[in-house]
Amino acid sequence: MLALKLQQVAAKTVPTSGESRLLRKAREQKDNSNRGKPEGSDGVKKKKDGVGNERDNSTVAAASPRAKPMTAANQSLNPKSQACMRSKNRGQISRDYEQEFPSVEVGPRLVRRCSEDSQITLHRQDVDSEDYWEKLAQESDPSRQEKEVLNHSAIIPQLKSKLLTFKAQLTGGVVKEAWQIHRTLKVLHNLILTSDLEKSYQIRRELGLPHVLFDLIHDTVENSISSKQPWSVPVLGEMIVVLMIYWEKHSDWVEEENRLELGLEFTKPFITILSHPNLIPLAPLAASVLSLLTQHDVEVQVDMDNLTSLMKNLLLDSYEPQLSLPSGWGLCDGILSLLLYTLSEHENGSGSSCLDPVMFLDLWKRIGPSLSKTALDIDFCSAHGLYSFLSTALFVFTKDPYSCIPLFSDSESKCVYTLGRLLGTDCLHLFAGFSPERLELDLSHDSLSVLSCHLLCFPFALDLPPHTMSTVFQLYDSCGIVTSLLQVIQTLPPPLLELPLSLLSRLLLCDPERSVPCLRKAASGFFAPPRNSQLTASKHPAPLTRTASSLLAHLLQLDVLWDSAVELLTLLSQEARCSPRPAHLQLHLEASVLHQALAHSHDQIRAATCRLLGHLDPFRPPTLHTLQPDIFKSMIECLHDSCTPVRRMACRAIGNWLGYIAAGFKMGRFKGKGSDTAGWGKETGQNKRSEAATGHLATLVEQGVDDEQGREWVEEARRTAAMLASLVTDPDALTRRHCCAALGNLVYVDGAASLLLEEDVPSSLLRAACTDSHNAVRQAAIATLCLYSEQDTIRQVLISLDASKKLLQASQRTPQQCDYHRLIERL
């Protein structure tokens, strides 16, 4: 019986395949423990455990907002790592058991799973804490010197979760802990600013930007409860700022949208903000977003009275902004842009609108003084805002030109002062690094200068009383407009120069007493010869300075610049004409440039060049060595030009130069031979310029030309006889008049009298004096014949032509009184 029980026990102790292996390994483990552990085994095991935990460690690190390697201290504090290490420190039996029965969680495996669940719970608690988001906002701050390497893969899902949670709370009507969305938006703000292009598009794709922001703004504004909460203004402000910053970096998103849907859906909350009493502090931000939409052809419907009210509020001395706009945006930029947009739309549409004149005046008074500061008052108006403001002024003045007069004639308005500051280079520093360029407008200081020129031109286009115009000119002078215009001409790109050149020329013409001395004082470098080849003391090339000569050479090249070339030549003519004495004019023009201008294909350039040359004395510094006989020769060729204005101006200029040449003979400058002139006649209408020149030549006789040059001048002067003779009957009355005057000066050039007789000039002049249809031409012909009568040979010719009888008959049938009797007495 005992043996049977022992046999049964032995049978029961026979293991199954799995159990026998476990028992066998248990016995082996027991035997090994009985023999003792070899030295260093614990250290080896720990080292292996460390290697085995690397994957778990990397998993934990990936869930952190900062990508940092796990340190030994981190591992000791990590419950999951500790659970894994305890699991690996267990015996072989337990590990084999887990392999045999993987679905059964007992003992240490259960402990490990519980540790993982607690870690996830702890992580969720961290993400929801205020400290976590505050710290994340600090670490992502663009101004932080020590940049943190942020894990976008971990942060972006957290941002998305917070944004969706806030949206759900808005939909439910109750927002809990509004600080959370504020911190979330701050982190998003920082990430957009600091992310590279790849990460920026990752943020856009995973968060659904910018649509999620438009949705949140819409839901917040349309929620009657939320929009009245104290947190709504700062939260909405942060949303709009983030939207504007995103827009600046990704302006292409608009191109992917339907314009009609943008106008219907996206504009509504921002228009609501402009009129919502609780959201008025957000008006500058909302207006800025709407202005961006208008730049992309999105229709925006805003009320002009509402915009005017908002602008008046911003202009109050007591106004203090509650929110900051993104860098580069001024407080009134958006509203100014919308004012311009609304005025333009109402003009083109069926509505009507006008700008409040009081508010407009207050804007000038606010913007003008801000330009005198060392830095532009960008908090109120940036350079983009200035552009919108000047464009609005241009629109208003174009629609009602006389509305500019109260502003342009009152120094208190600061209008002319503001335009003068923006016109010149004195305020260039105000725009240095003023803002990142907005993609919808390629803005520069040049744009503001051109707009200022447009506005300053308006008074010249109006029929104003003399005392009003005088007040305007006085204000222009006190604000340094002439000096500023010269700075513009020397710095602006050539394609933009036509308007400032024209404006400066008009000032010289209309107000020479103040403008000419001012220009002469400021333009010494502009009128001077180029200094390209000169070197400074430091042996470095001197900076190239734009001069009148270099600018004219450039403007003559391209057809798009030819009108500017005409304006420059006209300006130089005004300066030369207004000089009290030719010796005071220090204008230098290269001979090659003048030749090019006289032979130019553009009619107006040839005419303007002849006009300029007519005001220059070729025998005085600094033109003494520039205006050589070959220039005179080129100008003579213009007498037969097909263009009437060219012939007219050439005829006048040549007459003046013949007067200078004749004066040179009297002062001994030229040593011609075989002169048939009998002396100088009494002063008459056409030789007044020659006589005036004579008085100043006395001090410059020592600078006279040499014999060779003198012969060249005389030869070219004689050549004009035949050319001028044909112009006595020119179809243009002014050309005929200038021709008669020029022939009067030619008679005193050595050897010219005989040439005049060969061309039958006395007969042509007599015919003009008696029968020309224009009184001014008849008067000029009579004055020239008076000079001719002092020459014995010509006087005898006139007598043979029965001039006295013809002149007497003409005096009886001519209604205008001509000085026929003085000429008759001489004959």
pLDDT at residue number 606:
98
Mean predicted lDDT score pLDDT of the chain: 79
| pLDDT, tens digit (0-9, with 9 covering 90-100), for 280-299 | 999 999 999 999 999 888 89
User: Measured between alpha carbons, how far is 415 from 405 in angstroms, rounded to an integer?
Assistant: 10
Comparing 432 with 71, the larger pLDDT belongs to 432
- List the beta bridge partners of residue 535: 541
| pLDDT, tens digit (0-9, with 9 covering 90-100), for 757-799 | 999 999 999 999 999 999 999 999 999 999 999 999 999 999 9
φ, ψ (nearest 5 deg) of residue 533: -90, -5
Q: What is the Cα Rg of the chain in Å? A: 46
Q: Provide the 8-state DSSP code for 543.
A: P
Q: Does pLDDT of 53 surpass 60? A: no
Confidence of residue 518 (pLDDT cuts 50, 70, 90): very high
Comparing 127 with 186, the larger pLDDT belongs to 186
* Residues 497, 489 contacting (CB under 8 angstroms): yes
pLDDT at residue number 133:
85
Q: Report which secondary-structure segment, H or E, holds 387.
A: helix 383-399
Using DSSP, state whether 535 is helix, strand or coil.
strand
Q: Residue 658's closest CA among 625, 683, 693?
A: 693
pLDDT at residue number 125:
46
| DSSP codes of every residue in 292-311 | HHHHTT------HHHHHHHH
Give the list of residues 6+ apart from residue 746 with CB closer than 8 angstroms, or none: 658, 662, 717, 720, 721, 724, 752, 756
pLDDT at residue number 543:
46
Q: Does pLDDT of 599 surpass 50? A: yes
Q: What is the largest CA-CA distance in the chain?
A: 186
Using DSSP, state whether 541 is helix, strand or coil.
strand
Q: Does pLDDT of 342 surpass 80? A: yes
pLDDT at residue number 48:
38
Q: Residue 270's closest CA among 296, 249, 248, 244?
A: 244
Structure-token pair, residue 335: 């509203």
pLDDT at residue number 401:
95
For 51-75, the three-class secondary structure string (H helix, E strand, C coil) is HHCHHHHHHHHHCCCECCCCCHHHH
Percent of the chain with pLDDT over 90: 50
pTM > 0.75: yes or no? yes
pLDDT at residue number 129:
78
* Residues 382, 445 contacting (CB under 8 angstroms): no
Confidence of residue 676 (pLDDT cuts 50, 70, 90): very low
| pLDDT, tens digit (0-9, with 9 covering 90-100), for 704-743 | 566 788 889 999 999 999 999 999 999 999 999 999 999 9
- CA distances from residue 503 to 2, 508, 567, 571, 652 in whole angstroms, order as listed: 134, 9, 9, 9, 25
Per-domain boundaries in the chain: 73-127, 579-670+688-758, 760-827
Q: Residue 440's closest CA among 247, 241, 193, 195?
A: 247
How many Å from the N-terminal Cα to the C-terminal Cα in the chain? 185
Task: Give residue 100's identity as a one-letter amino acid code.
Answer: E
- List the beta bridge partners of residue 541: 535
Specify the fold of 579-670+688-758.
Leucine-rich Repeat Variant (1.25.10)
Q: Does pLDDT of 302 surpass 80? A: yes
- List the beta bridge partners of residue 66: 150
Structure-token pair, residue 644: 């009437």
Q: Residue 294's closest CA among 441, 178, 419, 192?
A: 441
For 413-427, the three-class secondary structure string (H helix, E strand, C coil) is HCHHHHHHHHHCCCC
For tokens 């082996």, name the residue. 28
765-771: long-range contacts, CB 8 A cutoff, minimum separation 24 = 765/728, 765/740, 766/798, 766/801, 766/803, 766/806, 766/807, 767/728, 768/728, 768/729, 768/736, 768/740, 769/807, 769/810, 769/818, 769/820, 769/823, 770/806, 770/807, 770/809, 770/810, 771/810
* Residues 145, 177 contacting (CB under 8 angstroms): no
Using DSSP, state whether 511 is helix, strand or coil.
coil
pLDDT at residue number 172:
82
CA dihedral 665, 668, 670, 675 (to 10 degrees): 50
pLDDT at residue number 739:
98
* Residues 76, 53 contacting (CB under 8 angstroms): no
Structure-token pair, residue 602: 């553009």
